[in-house]
Structure 1
Amino acid sequence: MLLFLDTETTGLPKYSATTDTEKWPRVVQLAWSLYDIDGNRQSRNSFIIYPTDFTIPMASVKKHGITTERAKAEGTSLHKVLPQFNADVEKSTMVIAHNTEFDLPIVHTEFVRCRLKTNLLEKENFCTMKPREIVSWCKIPKASGYGYKWPTLSELYLQLFEEEFTGCHDAGADVEACARCYFELRKRGII
């Protein structure tokens, strides 16, 4: 089984050990889907997280639209969400995200904060953003004009399907877009 993952957060990390929880942003929305190897979705989950001991900065709200008030009204406790997520991690053979270096440690840090165990970081993982094969195929020039940049999920989706996807920066929509991109990249032999 392949587990596709995306998060929306309170900001960007300072990239430290995941046990140094003060240097990592909080998860505001966690979404994941399980697919079989042939691309058939087996399950889909998306949760806004109840902000127990944090507020969501306006700069982050402008990206994903989830305010502290909305999260308090619609959110689910991480203590309920993470065990369900971890059960699907256990079922998976690989974890896939668009920028695994961002999403995986952020989710792992929430496990540390909640004092829950997971082998998320030990799972084989694949990033749909940074591999050279994907960057070379997309051929999106860097602002400097030298070389190619990592594609955003929206840019990768547009390159593959010649259409934009709706719901960008909603973790649930991003997970489904990431999965569709992954299977199309495989189908075309790019990865």
Structure 2
Amino acid sequence: MTVWYEGRLAGFDLETTGVDVETDRIVTACTVQCGGKQPTQSFTWMADPGIDIPEGAAKVHGITTERARAEGRPAAEVVEQLVAALTECVLAGQPIVAMNASFDLTILDREARRHGVQPLTDVVGRDLRVIDPRVLDKQIDQRRKGQRTLTALCQHYKVPLDGAHSADADAIAACRVAWRLGSTVPRLGRMSIDDLHQAQIKWAESQGRSLAAYFARTPGKESWADGVRTEWPLIPVQRGGGA
């Protein structure tokens, strides 16, 4: 029986206009299918998000408002194709690998609702399985100091990352980190993908509660506690959300 990290993995990453899952938009996206002793396949999109891209976001991913308007495809078209690509992966039995999955999957969900596209979770239902290197790393190495960004994880686990903060580079790097965790941490590697998915729901909730408690007792950060979300891998839509 093939263990999950030796099978086909579907990396997924977005670069966006900002970090608010309810109001920010997709700028670039990538899905990458790798592993399973098959050739790597990647698909990338650039969207015209329909709103200005803040200077700070453009500095991170390199896509300005002007470039997105000139080169990007209509956002609705990108969202529809992205949902279709991920649906194909899920229905083929591939877990979606996404760093900080609740951000990317929630942004995609809200964009789908915004543009009249059937959301991924509505299409695939309970078949969705997700691997989040951030959640896994925080669970198996809780006391390690320092950042838990994708760049930091790649450095820690000695995984190559070429072109950080481009969606295609980040998607393949997330898969590499997931593979490294599965192949070197026995208690992760021997779990079924179903059990691993369910475990991450509990781990992410615990990690979120711990972060909120840290903010609540840290002078100057108390107000941040209320903004911590513990749902994983998707933050449920709120009444009136997705605008």
Residue 166 of structure 1: CA displacement?
Answer: 2.2
Count of residues in Structure 1 that have an aligned counterpart in Structure 2: 172
Superimposed CA distance per residue, residues 147-187 of structure 1 (whole angstroms, 9 cap, x where no aligned partner):
xx6x21111111111x6522111011101111111112212
One-letter code aligned to 1:30: A
Residue 90 of structure 1: CA displacement?
Answer: 2.1
Residue 9 of structure 1: CA displacement?
Answer: 0.8
1:6 aligns with 2:6: no
Q: Considering only aligned residues, what root-mean-square deviation do their CA atoms show, in Å?
A: 2.3
1:24 aligns with 2:28: no
Q: 1:39 to 1:68 in 2, by over 3 A?
A: farther
1:126 aligns with 2:123: no
Q: Percent identity?
A: 26
CA distance in 1 between partners of 2:173 and 2:142 (Å): 16
CA distance in 1 between partners of 2:149 and 2:37 (Å): 22
Residue 76 of structure 1: CA displacement?
Answer: 1.7
One-letter code aligned to 1:130: V
TM norm structure 2: 0.63
CA distance in 1 between partners of 2:117 and 2:161 (Å): 35
Partner of 1:111: 112
Residue 80 of structure 1: CA displacement?
Answer: 2.7
TM norm structure 1: 0.79
Q: Is the 8 A contact 2:15 2:28 kept in 1?
A: yes
1:84 aligns with 2:81: yes
Residue 124 of structure 1: CA displacement?
Answer: 1.9
- Which one has a larger percent helix, Structure 1 or Structure 2? 2
Unaligned runs of 5+ in 2: 1-7, 189-243
Residue 5 of structure 1: CA displacement?
Answer: 0.7
Partner of 2:32: 33
1:61 aligns with 2:49: no
**Residue from 31, 44, 47 that aligns with 2:45:** 47
